[in-house]
């Protein structure tokens, strides 16, 4: 299988590329032009391709199956994908993971525009470029998020639940709508609504652990808000499952089957780290630090999301329960 991946240098993208290459698949990382390796080197320096391989954590064998292709989502669609070597020809699938980080910077008007453009416009540019280049992948797997559901209290949310309200819900709705336009190109489309991804070296977990390392960790606000989480290992396994099973299409909640309240999550994290969890962070402090809207939607919103469709497909989670998941991520062999 040949897979095109945007957002290939991010947390999920890096792990997915390595997983695919390890199992013998060909991967084209669609990178911004300035990031594509040139192969040039100065005296005594390692070739750019070797440095790129090392940064991605690829073995020499895995690196032979990974190609970097220039893609500029801001450029005109006619030349958005620069691939004179023809690496993208015959691609079977596209995994669209590109998007500016929701958590990097306060949600100013300008920042919101960037978050929207990197997702909605980026997806539109990708599909237009695929059409212009006369590529014909069979499937588009496009990232989304459980922010789609908004703040819903104790309501149990499945893929059948309606979109919520707020900035993140509107952003996810528009992002998914753009991805679904790939159906007009004859592609199977899957929108993966990621929960909070637990990983050792990236994502939200390293930030969550910082207060606990200094003995000042605790619940956020009331601690009653539901948190829907999933390990990085399960995220990659779900993406592989989706790519390899033509029966999967539409929205897919990529979360573990046991969401927990924030108070429970922080207690389990403290236990796994052998630290106390007694210092609750009041809501007003979060709103002062991040702004009311960002604090409410990112940290205080309650999203009790269930992986109804994954369970119906018979997917077997590697980490279905939070205590063992945290142990494995923090102290075991999980990513």
Give the pLDDT confidence of 224-272 residue by residue, as tens digits.
999 999 999 999 999 999 999 999 999 999 999 999 999 999 999 999 9
Average pLDDT for the chain: 91
- Is 301's pLDDT higher than 70? yes
Pick from 223, 236, 333, 216: which is nearest to 10 by CA?
236
Instruction: Say if 274 falls within a structural domain.
Output: no
C-alpha distances out from residue 93 to 6, 12, 90, 175, 309, Å:
11, 16, 9, 19, 21
Interval 18-30 mean pLDDT: 96
Residue 136: predicted pLDDT: 84
Q: Which residue has the tokens 């299988």?
A: 1
C-alpha to C-alpha distance for 95 and 141, rounded to whole angstroms: 5
Which residues lie below 8 Å from residue 44, measured CB to CB, with a gap of 6+?
none
Sheet containing 250-254: give its strands across.
81-82, 66-71, 26-31, 2-6, 93-96, 139-145, 188-194, 250-254
CATH of the domain at 128: 3.40.50.720
Per residue in 279-291, pLDDT (tens digit) is: 999 999 999 999 9
Interval 197-211 mean pLDDT: 94
Residue 79: predicted pLDDT: 54
Q: How long, in residues, is the chain? A: 335
Instruction: Say if 116 falls within a structural domain.
Output: yes
Taking the CA atoms of 249, 192, 69 and 115 in sequence, report the sign of the dihedral they define: positive
Tell me the pLDDT band of 310, cut-offs 50, 70 and 90. very high
- Is 54's pLDDT higher than 80? no
Residue 283: predicted pLDDT: 96
Residue 55: predicted pLDDT: 60
Contact status, residue 141 vs residue 193, Cβ threshold 8 Å? no
Instruction: Say if 266 falls within a structural domain.
Output: no
Question: How many domains are there within the chain?
Answer: 1
Contact status, residue 33 vs residue 70, Cβ threshold 8 Å? yes
- Is 18's pLDDT higher than 90? yes
Q: Would you say the pTM of this structure is higher than 0.85?
A: yes
Which residues lie below 8 Å from residue 52, measured CB to CB, with a gap of 6+?
37, 68
Instruction: Say if 137 falls within a structural domain.
Output: yes
- Is 139's pLDDT higher than 80? yes
Residue 166 is given by DSSP the state S
Instruction: Say if 213 falls within a structural domain.
Output: no
- Is 40's pLDDT higher than 50? no
DSSP per residue over 209-236, as a string? HHHHHTT----BTTS-SEE-EEEHHHHH
Residue 38: predicted pLDDT: 46
Residue 108: Cβ within 10 Å count: 11
Residue 87: predicted pLDDT: 87
pLDDT above 90: percentage of residues in the chain: 79
Instruction: Say if 75 falls within a structural domain.
Output: yes
Tell me the pLDDT band of 83, cut-offs 50, 70 and 90. confident
C-alpha distances out from residue 56 to 8, 52, 84, 232, Å:
9, 6, 23, 16
Residue 42: predicted pLDDT: 43
Interval 188-212 mean pLDDT: 95
Instruction: Say if 267 falls within a structural domain.
Output: no
Tell me the pLDDT band of 296, cut-offs 50, 70 and 90. very high
Contact status, residue 300 vs residue 225, Cβ threshold 8 Å? yes
Q: How far apart are the first and last CA of the chain?
A: 24
Structural domain harbouring 69: 2-201+228-256+304-318
Interval 111-138 mean pLDDT: 91
- The DSSP element (H or E) to which 252 belongs, if any, is strand 250-254
Instruction: Say if 332 falls within a structural domain.
Output: no
Residue 50: predicted pLDDT: 58
Alpha-carbon radius of gyration of the chain: 20
């Amino acid at each position: 299988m040949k897979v095109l991946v945007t957002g290939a240098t991010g947390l999920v993208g890096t792990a997915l590329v390595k997983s695919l290459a390890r199992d013998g698949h060909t991967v084209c990382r669609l990178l911004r032009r300035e990031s594509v390796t040139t192969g040039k080197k100065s005296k005594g320096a390692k070739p750019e391709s070797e440095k790129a391989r090392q940064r991605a954590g690829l073995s020499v064998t895995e690196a032979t199956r990974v190609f970097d292709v220039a893609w500029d989502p801001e450029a005109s669609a006619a030349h958005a994908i620069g691939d004179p070597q023809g690496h993208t020809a015959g691609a079977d699938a596209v995994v669209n993971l590109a998007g500016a980080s929701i958590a990097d910077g306060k949600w100013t008007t300008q920042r919101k525009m960037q978050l929207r453009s990197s997702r909605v416009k980026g997806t539109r540019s990708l599909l237009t470029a695929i059409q212009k280049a006369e590529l014909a992948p069979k499937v588009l797997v496009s990232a989304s998020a459980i922010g789609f559901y908004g703040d819903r209290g104790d309501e149990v949310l499945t893929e059948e639940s309606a979109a919520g309200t707020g900035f993140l819900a509107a952003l996810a709705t528009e992002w998914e709508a753009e991805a679904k336009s790939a159906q007009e190109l004859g592609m199977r489309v899957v929108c993966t609504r990621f929960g909070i991804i637990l990983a050792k070296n990236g994502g939200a977990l390293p930030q969550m652990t910082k207060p606990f390392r200094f003995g000042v960790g605790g619940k956020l606000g009331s601690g009653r808000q539901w948190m829907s989480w999933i390990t990085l290992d399960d995220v990659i396994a779900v993406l592989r499952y989706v790519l390899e099973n033509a029966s999967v299409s539409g929205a897919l909640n990529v979360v573990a089957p046991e969401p927990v309240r924030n108070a429970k999550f922080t207690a389990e994290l403290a236990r796994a780290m052998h630290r106390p969890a007694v210092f609750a962070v009041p809501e007003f402090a979060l709103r002062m630090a991040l702004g009311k809207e960002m604090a409410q939607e990112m940290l205080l919103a309650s999203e009790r999301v269930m992986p109804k469709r994954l369970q119906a497909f018979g997917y077997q989670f590697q980490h279905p329960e939070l205590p063992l998941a945290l142990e494995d991520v923090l102290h075991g062999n999980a990513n």
